A and B are shown apart, each in its own frame.
Chain A
Amino acid sequence: MDREKLLIIGGGMAATRLIEETAAAAPGRYSMTVIGEEPRLAYNRVLLSSVLAGEAELADIELRPAQWWRAEGVEFLSGRRAVDIDRAGRVVALDDGARLPYSKLVLATGSRALRLNIEGAALPGVHTFRDVADVDALSRLGAEGKNVLVIGGGLLGLEAAYGLVRRGANVTLAHVMDRLMERQLDAEGGALLKRLVEATGVRVRLVADTARVGGDGRVQWAAFADGSLLEVDAVVFAVGIRANAELANKSGLAVQRGVVVDDGLASSDPNISAIGECAEHRGVCYGLVEPAYEQAHILAARLAGRAAQYEGSTVSTNLKVSGVRVFSAGDYLAHSGADILYCKDPRMGVYRKLVVQDDRLTGAILIGDTSGARDCLAFIRSGERVADLHELLFGAPRLDKAA
């Protein structure tokens, strides 16, 4: 019996998880092919910052070894790019002219780093932080002790800055907002994180709007909206991501900020699905791995013929940021009159906040000591009553030694 052809464009974390889940959910049903643009097997992009920081080797972050892919019977085409989808003929064309037929196509093309639309943004010496090539370039800057400006105080910018400092660079981080990670942290948490980041050697400038960068043939300075000027050897943009949806767009699929998918993760073409950072579900493009994994889980079930529905993800962040454990989830700012419980120990770099409405956890921020993060997320997702909020807040307080 001929197996159905499942073709996945994108060779990252979402694709890998989809293959694992599908293999488990519908063993032997599909013959699977992965088209990856980077010239390597799938790796854990989240851990790129650890590689930059010198805390992990590239080999350590590979998701699955070559023999695993072989054993699973998955064809992994790395260093190749899909350039066209013939939806009527159900064929994908690659940049090398190859044409791959499919019965089911999944877009897992991820996203790319944005550059600010400012003067000088294309000069040599202006980087982003997205893939292994970026890590190589940034690592070199560090090794040469360069003066680097990282623009963007979100998760990515902080990790770039931290990694660069660890590599030996002299780093300034400029953030246009008045606090770091404003999409995950409240003012208190942002302030604590700023202190902890500064303790690693990064100079942090808040409310710093980079107006333009310039230099003679390559970037040499950055100018801010307040008129101040900073001499730099390099600039790293970490100002956000944009879904890689051009191929879908060109193919006539419905695309807004990302490839529009329904609760079954199908695009406007029922044979084509999208998951991960390239997908837009109920108006949301997630920029985190957790929703991608949840989508992979649902899509695998559907590929196995079950009627699973994806209803969106409760966004949470549970990461080590600049060497500091940070967890954030739900209504972390306590909108809509929710009550707050918090405890904090600035000297030890610990801040734990729970947002509660009617004994139910609706949001949380945990910095420094993220014990209980999993429970917090489970409570937020389930909406169950929390019997002992204090126990959850104080957890079994265990300090992260790395903090």
Chain B
Amino acid sequence: MLDVISKSGAVAAVGAAAAPATATRTTCPYCGVGCGVLASVDKTGVARVAGDPSHPSNFGRLCSKGSALGETLGLEGRLLHPLRRSQGDGFERLSWDAALDAVAAGFKRIVDRHGPDAVAFYLSGQLLTEDYYVANKLMKGFIGSANVDTNSRLCMASAVAGHKRAFGADAVPGCYEDLDAADLIVLVGSNAAWCHPVLFQRIMRNREARGAQLVVIDTRRTATAESADLFLRIMPGSDQALFSGLLVHLAESGVIDSDHIERRTTGFEAALAQARRIAPSIAAAAVSAGLPETEVAAFFDMFARTARVVTAFSQGVNQSAQGTDKVNAIINCHLATGRIGKLGSSPFSLTGQPNAMGGREVGGLANSLAAHMGFEPESVDRVRRFWNAPRIAEREGLKAVAMFEAVARGDIKALWIVGSNPAASLPDADAARGALQKLELLVVSDNVRSNDTINSGAHLLLPAQAWGEKNGTVTNSERRISRQRAFLSPPGETRPDWAIFSDVARRMGFPGFDFRSAACVFREHAALSAFENAGKRDFDLGGLAELSDDAYDALEPTQWPIRPGESAGRSRLFGEGAFNTPDGRARFVAPEKPTLASALTADYPLRLNTGRVRDQWHSMTRTGTSPRLARHAPEPFVEINPKDAKAAGVEQNGFARVVTAHGSCVLRAIVTERQPTGHLFAPIHWTDETSAQARVGALVPPCVDPISGQPESKAAPAAIAPCAFARQGVLLARRPLALPRGMWWARLAVAGGFAYRIASDAQASFWLDFLRRNGSEDVVEFFDEAQGLLRAAAFRADRAELFLALGRSPPPVDAGLDLSALDKLSASQRLELLSGATAPRDGESSPVVCACFGVSERKIDAVIASGCTDAAEVGRLLRAGTNCGSCLPEIRRMIAKRRG
């Protein structure tokens, strides 16, 4: 277990025993694993964050991102007061009363004039269940529209739809314990080593301790793939061909559980018939998936002969125009073998966001109503009566992509965006950003003062409480509800989102919003889930509906369902059948033939895949403030196979412009064999806040799955071309800067300020003038014409405010990571600073591999060179990889490279 003490980037690791007794037990705000966190702040303001040893999701472990939470609690850039756009680009402060009145009046005016469907809420998987519940109740129950959607649409919608089609409810059948107990784990479209590191380490421990096998199915050789016993590098969009082939193989080899199929399911014959049409044989499956037949046969054989199989899937499956079919193709194989809801056996959706599940539970999606109920008349009637809501919405609303298209058409005139940045993250993000500017009223509740969405013309900004300040519950991938508890006092005038929604609802004249606390909201949510349920709906929190405030505060992590009168939830569902369908039987679903939504053309001959990097989360609002996390991948990049790079003239570490029919980005090129030919990969994290031209969302076409509405974010037809700049380097600043258009830059957090990695054609005179305008007149400079070097610094007294170092080659990864070295410089050190003598020389530059302990590639390589032959030994010597383990694949790769 790692305990991290953070203040201005200082990191120390101590044992679990050192965690103070007064630490608050809370839950990590990042991925869907939902790790328990012990957090505290001492008298000097130093935040300590440690894994909670008693939390059943992580047993004390945290990944690099979670470990660095303490570094992300600063107030730089925070939205602390309600703001209203004034003339021009500025904002003016206003009182909460005035702000809430303006929101209520604005929504009421537009609903009165144009009807309830002229307004919408766009929410976030980062919200707490209580926030989600009140927002959903307001919009669907009282405004009378179902235009409530969320960024979970971009992440989990296909899994939701697949679950509903198969099980009759959006319920994950298994639990994390199954990852410990399985003998075969199949990861499909999941880079769990980076995106769910704590679960991945659980899988790796099972592999080491019990000999479980790991199969990884992905289009690119990820860190996860490197740890697999069998890696199947499939063609994009061919997942259901592979799993159709598997279903056929299971049927033909007699591995299917006929009794289970007979008694607990329907639709098997039709599904099998369709599977035979898609992939009648191993050979056919291999051709469709672009794999060698031997690999496909090996996988089918492993699956067939292993009873305990968990097939875990994530965005590689979901983010597809056939995502729902892919989910069902996977589930079909588990239904056919009866491997569902049993110890070590289940299909398993790995949730992306910390509370995508909680949002789904309250119904915070346009195609569900509330508490896992849809828009069937009896459900609408039930919820109407429960809420006492005569104007309740009676039909589905618009899903994310359609919602923003309606905004663009002018059909939606008022939009309230909460805790999300759709102007950067939606597909066709430039169009989404443009659409926002047409709104009569754009309200944004957020933690930050500036992001791509706010800067798309938001009229009102409402300051919300952030992680560590707010209170409520989240649900993780295994249906486990955990408390997020506050350990910081809320800064400025920030408020909980549920309270903001309640206040607006009351101002709009709606009853039923007199919530005093998060606990009150939770009890009503739990009561609704149990209302007229009688065991018919698995989403049932009846056992928690009567929690006292104290019991709510003390609530231990609990899985649902927890029915009235029960004191513990259930680990697994559907092991004995009892699906949530009207007849209680699961449904086999015959998938469509595999295809991609968009075709390659001569202009766009490559497939662009998008995804995450190890140490960043979403649009980096939080992780981007940690200097430690910035060092693994400091710049937005595109990965490309050497063959494609050569054909396009793209050079290793050069720049490349990636263009699709929808937008364009300029990214650092990483030429690697891990990327298959014909395919590009670019991470999603950078926005206009953190980079000049790296809004990867703008490249993604708005093609969606017809059932789930989830966009196909991983297969955009794209073109790539090299792009060059005269100079590149680093600009260090104490505060965020406005860099002029036309240059490339990426901003990262460093101790004491920000580092801008920049590339531009600007003349030296431009930069010197820039330093004078943004720093001070007291500028020192160094110029080497032959080598193209320009270094300069702007001083105030003995402190360098800005420091610039430009050259012809990419700056070292660890260039200028600590501004404290520039705090106090003597007269003679002013120029010495420019000599480069104090900065690491290029040869010494080294990215951080282990973010938890800050161990650089150079250090790890040194011990490997001196004879270290396995990752465990590296860990004993350097501690690298011994906490979250998400760097272990990289360490193993380095060892393999040395062995040659």
Judge whether A390 and B783 touch: CB under 8 Å: no
Residues 321-354 of A, flagged 1 when their CB comes within 8 A of B and 0 if not, give 0000000000000000001111111111010000
Judge whether B778 and A341 touch: CB under 8 Å: no
Task: State which residues 345-403 of A face B: CB under 8 Å.
Answer: 345-348, 350, 356, 369, 389-390, 393-394, 397-399
Judge whether B786 and A343 touch: CB under 8 Å: no
Q: CA separation between A346 and B780, bound complex, in Å?
A: 7
Residues 778-805 of B, flagged 1 when their CB comes within 8 A of A and 0 if not, give 1111111110000000010000000000
Which residues of chain B are within 8 angstroms of A342 by Cβ–Cβ distance? Answer: 781-783
Judge whether B786 and A345 touch: CB under 8 Å: no
Which residues of chain A are within 8 angstroms of B831 by Cβ–Cβ distance? Answer: 343, 345, 348, 350, 369, 394, 397
Judge whether B832 and A347 touch: CB under 8 Å: no
Q: CA separation between A202 and B891, bound complex, in Å?
A: 66
Closest to B776 in A: A347
Judge whether A340 and B783 touch: CB under 8 Å: yes
Task: Contacts A390-B836, A397-B828, A398-B828 given; indicate if A347 touches B795 (C-beta within 8 A).
Answer: yes
Judge whether B828 and A394 touch: CB under 8 Å: no
CB within 8 A of B785: which of A340, A346, A390, A398? A340
Judge whether A343 and B780 touch: CB under 8 Å: yes
Judge whether A344 and B832 touch: CB under 8 Å: no
Judge whether A390 and B828 touch: CB under 8 Å: no
Closest to A356 in B: B786
Judge whether B779 and A346 touch: CB under 8 Å: yes
Task: Contacts A356-B786, A390-B784 given; indicate if A343 touches B834 (C-beta within 8 A).
Answer: yes
Judge whether A341 and B835 touch: CB under 8 Å: no
Q: Is B209 an interface residue (CB 8 A)?
A: no
Q: Is B483 an interface residue (CB 8 A)?
A: no
Q: Is B862 an interface residue (CB 8 A)?
A: no
Secondary structure call for the B interface: mixed
Which residues of chain A are within 8 angstroms of B784 by Cβ–Cβ distance? Answer: 339, 341, 389-390
Judge whether A339 and B785 touch: CB under 8 Å: yes
Residues 157-201 of A, flagged 1 when their CB comes within 8 A of B and 0 if not, give 000000000000000000000000000000000000000000000
Which residues of chain B are within 8 angstroms of A394 by Cβ–Cβ distance? Answer: 831-832, 834-835, 837
CB within 8 A of A345: which of B780, B785, B836, B837? B780
Looking at the assembled complex, report how far the CB atom of B319 sits from the nearest CB atom of chain A, in whole angstroms.
50
Closest to A368 in B: B831
CB within 8 A of B778: which of A347, A397, A399? A347
Task: State which residues 792-839 of B face A: CB under 8 Å.
Answer: 795, 827-828, 830-832, 834-837
Closest to B793 in A: A345
Task: State which residues 832-870 of B face A: CB under 8 Å.
Answer: 832, 834-837
Which residues of chain B are within 8 angstroms of A345 by Cβ–Cβ distance? Answer: 780, 830-831
Looking at the assembled complex, report how far the CB atom of B603 sits from the nearest CB atom of chain A, in whole angstroms.
43
Q: CA separation between A36 and B786, bound complex, in Å?
A: 51
Task: State which residues 743-781 of B face A: CB under 8 Å.
Answer: 778-781
Looking at the assembled complex, report how far the CB atom of B130 sits from the nearest CB atom of chain A, in whole angstroms.
57
Which residues of chain A are within 8 angstroms of B778 by Cβ–Cβ distance? Answer: 346-347
Q: CA separation between A356 and B831, bound complex, in Å?
A: 20
Which residues of chain A are within 8 angstroms of B832 by Cβ–Cβ distance? Answer: 394, 397
Which residues of chain A are within 8 angstroms of B783 by Cβ–Cβ distance? Answer: 340-343
Which residues of chain B are within 8 angstroms of A390 by Cβ–Cβ distance? Answer: 784, 835-836
Q: CA separation between A342 and B779, bound complex, in Å?
A: 14
Q: CA separation between A363 and B393, bound complex, in Å?
A: 82
Looking at the assembled complex, report how far the CB atom of B842 sits from the nearest CB atom of chain A, in whole angstroms.
13
Q: CA separation between A343 and B795, bound complex, in Å?
A: 15
Judge whether A341 and B786 touch: CB under 8 Å: yes
Judge whether B781 and A343 touch: CB under 8 Å: yes
Closest to B830 in A: A345
Looking at the assembled complex, report how far the CB atom of B782 sits from the nearest CB atom of chain A, in whole angstroms.
4
Which residues of chain A are within 8 angstroms of B780 by Cβ–Cβ distance? Answer: 343-348
Closest to A347 in B: B778
Counting chain B CB atoms within 10 Å of each CB, the highest count among A344, A346, A399 belongs to A344
Which residues of chain B are within 8 angstroms of A397 by Cβ–Cβ distance? Answer: 828, 831-832, 835
Looking at the assembled complex, report how far the CB atom of A354 sits from the nearest CB atom of chain B, in whole angstroms.
9
Which residues of chain B are within 8 angstroms of A346 by Cβ–Cβ distance? Answer: 778-780
Q: CA separation between A341 and B827, bound complex, in Å?
A: 21
Task: State which residues 51-94 of A face B: CB under 8 Å.
Answer: none
Task: State which residues 275-296 of A face B: CB under 8 Å.
Answer: none
Judge whether A399 and B786 touch: CB under 8 Å: no
Which residues of B approach A to under 8 Å, CB–CB? Answer: 778-786, 795, 827-828, 830-832, 834-837
Extra pairs beyond A339-B784, A344-B782 (17, CB < 8 Å)? A341-B786, A343-B781, A343-B834, A345-B780, A345-B831, A347-B795, A348-B780, A350-B831, A356-B786, A389-B784, A390-B836, A393-B782, A394-B835, A397-B831, A397-B832, A397-B835, A399-B828
